[in-house]
């Protein structure tokens, strides 16, 4: 997939769900993975000609594992001319040393988002862009259904009334395979997660199940995503 194709998919989401208003200052959450870097590059490309002017500020929440090098991401942001902030935390210590969580992903996500939201007060951003794609939408739906007994998933746009910020998800029309293809082709400086739970979480079990379902029932993920978009779920009606 080319950058032009990625930008087209991102713009489709921005327009369809009215994610951007004029003069928005948008923080892009950068984990260092292929998804967030793809989102950063695509939004930067759209800045040049999108009819509603907006600005970007890349932000990484450092979980505190102590062995991550963000220099390559700093270099990319420098090339793009996008300000870059690293938020230092001790989330890894809290989860794995103090609480010894068996299923750490949910708590980690909450703490990471809390740190990111707090950092927005210093950057002056009014919106946060997360890099959730189509497969993340479906995986979250399955996780909610299987482990919580609820039929719900992440929303295209979410207003956080406690901190006055709006979360947008501009990659939601992109398949994970397309993100991987673009990331590899563009040579994005992906930083591998050092999390000790990587590879053995509930989400990864669900992702493996999704791949199996799609092999045995070609097109099933696209049909599930269509059901999400048309099923009157909260936040999915533009």
Q: Which range (22-26, 68-72, 129-133) has the least confidence?
A: 68-72
Judge whether 76 and 36 are in contact, CB under 8 Å.
no
pLDDT score of 196 more than 80: no
Which token pair is 41? 């590059």
- Give me the pLDDT at residue 166, please: 94
Taking only the tens place, the pLDDT of each residue in 59-115 is: 988 877 766 778 999 999 999 999 999 988 878 778 777 776 767 777 777 888 888
- Give me the pLDDT at residue 94, please: 81
User: Which of the 8 DSSP states describes residue 96?
Assistant: I
Those residues whose C-beta lies under 8 Å from the C-beta of residue 115, and which sit 6 or more positions away, are: 61, 87, 89, 91
Taking only the tens place, the pLDDT of each residue in 185-194 is: 999 999 877 7
Among 103, 99, 63, 55, which Cα is nearest to 81's?
55
Spatial separation of the C-alpha atoms in residues 37 and 201, rounded to whole Å = 23
Spatial separation of the C-alpha atoms in residues 178 and 199, rounded to whole Å = 21
Taking only the tens place, the pLDDT of each residue in 111-125 is: 888 888 777 777 889
Return the CATH number of 3-230, one of 3.40.50.920, 3.10.180.10, 3.40.50.620, 3.30.450.150. 3.40.50.620
Q: Which range (35-49, 60-74, 122-136) has the least confidence?
A: 60-74
Spatial separation of the C-alpha atoms in residues 31 and 130, rounded to whole Å = 10
Spatial separation of the C-alpha atoms in residues 36 and 50, rounded to whole Å = 20
Those residues whose C-beta lies under 8 Å from the C-beta of residue 140, and which sit 6 or more positions away, are: 132, 153, 154
């Amino acid at each position: 997939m080319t950058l032009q194709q990625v930008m087209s998919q991102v713009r489709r989401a921005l327009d369809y769900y009215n994610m951007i208003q004029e003069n928005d200052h948008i923080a892009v959450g950068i984990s260092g993975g292929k998804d967030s870097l793809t989102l950063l590059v695509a939004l930067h490309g759209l800045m040049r000609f999108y009819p509603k002017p907006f600005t970007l500020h890349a932000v990484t929440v450092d979980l505190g594992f102590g062995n991550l090098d963000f220099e390559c991401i700093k270099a990319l942001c420098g090339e793009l001319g996008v300000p870059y902030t690293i938020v230092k935390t001790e989330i890894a210590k809290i989860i794995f040393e103090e609480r010894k969580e068996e299923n750490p992903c949910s708590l980690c996500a909450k703490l990471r988002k809390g740190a990111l939201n707090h950092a927005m007060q210093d950057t002056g951003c009014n919106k946060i862009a997360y890099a959730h794609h189509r497969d993340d939408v479906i995986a979250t739906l399955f996780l909610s259904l299987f482990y919580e007994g609820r039929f719900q998933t992440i929303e295209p746009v979410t207003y956080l009334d406690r901190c006055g910020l709006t979360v947008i998800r501009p990659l939601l029309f992109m398949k994970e395979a397309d993100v991987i293809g673009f990331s590899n082709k563009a040579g994005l400086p992906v930083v591998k997660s050092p999390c000790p739970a990587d590879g053995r979480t509930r989400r990864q079990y669900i992702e493996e199940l999704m791949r199996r379902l799609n092999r045995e029932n070609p097109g099933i993920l696209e049909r599930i995503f269509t059901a999400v978009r048309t099923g009157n779920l909260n936040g999915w009606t533009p």
